[in-house]
Amino acid sequence: MNAKLQEALATLKHGTVDIIPEADLVKKLEKSAKIGKPLCVKLGLDPTAPDIHIGFGVVLHKLREFQDLGHTAVLIVGGFTARIGDPSDRSSTRRMLTKDEVEANLRDYKRQAFKILDPNRTEFRDNSEWLEHLDFAKLLELTSRYTVAGMLEREDFSKRFKEGSPISIIEFMYPLAQAYDSVAVQADIELGGTDQRFNLLIGRAIQERYGQEPQVCVITPLLEGIDGVKKMSKSIGNYVGIDEPPNQMFGKLMSIPDVLIEKYVKLVTNLDWNTLNNEHPKIQKEKMACAVIARYHSQAAAEAALEEFERVFSRKERPTGVQKAYLEKALLKNNETVRIVDLISATGLVKSKSEAKRLIEQGAVEVDEVRIDSFEADVPFKEGVLVKVGKKMFAEVYLR
């Protein structure tokens, strides 16, 4: 192994949980270098989540490292699987997207993905391209190449099977479809989080049974969401999107539990944990948050977000860039006061007047930095009056 290859391997290995098998990765890298053909590095996208979050960013950055070594990223868009829907979330009847919507989503997705990936070495492939033409005979052929026992190796399946809880056949089809994607694009390497390990391994097995050289599975760690418990995911809502405004990112990142700081620093920033290790947790978080914002926006944006956060939450001062809301003139009494409930409800910060009343009773409402203690109160109105609801919602109210 030459020095260059060794260095490449070290880079690629860094920050992964597992590479299955590592020896094959070396072989593939060597071969690629020798014949001058880039490796095909596959990554499946979740078509239901058009917002890329920083957890998924971890995998994308790994993919970028492959690109920087001259390899090709192949992103699989689950156009077909998306249309079939996932039976595991039973009640939610997902609306079928039109072709235009799918395209618009994909455009937005690309815009986000290219914050990390190199467009010149990226291909997007829609799996309807091949899955749509997989007729029943071919499907049977595919299913004959994997066993039920193999499927039951997945812990979730075997557990449910033992318990006698239902597993629909379609659930076996998903990993197979995903594996077939690998066959279709002749993937050399597939990336995925630890939750995808099983699926990636099936891809490997299936490729082999189709006479292809099996892909190497590169497993990256999963990032817990800002709730600190569950994995970061769009559907749980505990995520930080890479496209979110800096201030929002900052707030969310500051709210992660302290125990997660180290993991965040290591996974989503390029800061060196050793230099932060002995700092105060609050400082660690600030630096982490700034690094993330710098990565996805800019250094200046990071500094501005920090400054704003200090202003609003540490010094409790008036925030900048507060959203504007409008109040119907008819609600003014004697041209100078408003019922507090009407004012709050005009901001659109609350879902209902009942909620507004509840919040007022709980002392969550301030008007021009004065706390309101009764929902029957009238407050003086002036243009641009600042309304604060809870710790983090603000609005400036003007007359309409």
Enumerate binding residues for RNA (CB under 7 A).
91, 164-166, 227-229, 238, 247-248, 250-252, 254-255, 257-258, 280-282, 285, 309, 313-314, 333, 339, 341, 351-355, 357-359, 362-364, 375-378, 389-393
Q: Which is nearer to RNA, 73 or 289 (CB)?
A: 289
Rg (CA), the chain: 26
| Long-range pairs of 264-268 with CB within 8 A, sequence gap ≥ 24 | 264/223, 264/288, 265/291, 266/15, 267/15, 267/58, 267/221, 267/223, 268/54, 268/55, 268/57, 268/58, 268/223, 268/292, 268/295
Q: Which is nearer to RNA, 201 or 289 (CB)?
A: 289
Question: What is the chain's length?
Answer: 400
For residue 185 the two structure tokens come to: 């694009």
Shortest Å distance, C-beta 165 to RNA: 6
Shortest Å distance, C-beta 91 to RNA: 6
**Helices 299-309 & 281-296 angle (0-180, nearest 10):** 140
Using left for φ > 0, alpha for ψ between -120 and 50, and beta otherwise, residue 237 falls in: left
Shortest Å distance, C-beta 280 to RNA: 7
**How far is it, in rounded angstroms, from Cα 50 to Cα 137?**
34
**How far is it, in rounded angstroms, from Cα 391 to Cα 216?**
48
Q: Which is nearer to RNA, 215 or 247 (CB)?
A: 247
Reference 118, options 184, 65, 172, 164; nearest CA is 65
Q: Which is nearer to RNA, 27 or 230 (CB)?
A: 230
Reference 241, options 256, 254, 255, 225; nearest CA is 225
β partners of residue 380: 337
Q: Which is nearer to RNA, 1 or 259 (CB)?
A: 259
**How far is it, in rounded angstroms, from Cα 392 to Cα 62?**
35
Shortest Å distance, C-beta 399 to RNA: 18
Cβ pair 398, 384 in contact under 8 A: yes
Shortest Å distance, C-beta 241 to RNA: 12
Cβ pair 113, 73 in contact under 8 A: no
Q: Which is nearer to RNA, 180 or 250 (CB)?
A: 250
Shortest Å distance, C-beta 104 to RNA: 27
Shortest Å distance, C-beta 285 to RNA: 5
Shortest Å distance, C-beta 239 to RNA: 11
Q: Which is nearer to RNA, 324 or 358 (CB)?
A: 358
Report the relative pairing of strands 122-126 and 18-20 from DSSP bridges: unpaired
Q: Does the bond joining 21 to the residue before it have cis omega, within 30 degrees of 0?
A: yes
Cβ pair 143, 151 in contact under 8 A: no
For residue 290 the two structure tokens come to: 């700034």
Reference 386, options 372, 376, 373; nearest CA is 372
Q: Which is nearer to RNA, 382 or 391 (CB)?
A: 391
Q: Which is nearer to RNA, 201 or 360 (CB)?
A: 360
Q: Which is nearer to RNA, 229 or 370 (CB)?
A: 229
Shortest Å distance, C-beta 21 to RNA: 37
Reference 121, options 63, 34, 79, 50; nearest CA is 63
Shortest Å distance, C-beta 253 to RNA: 8
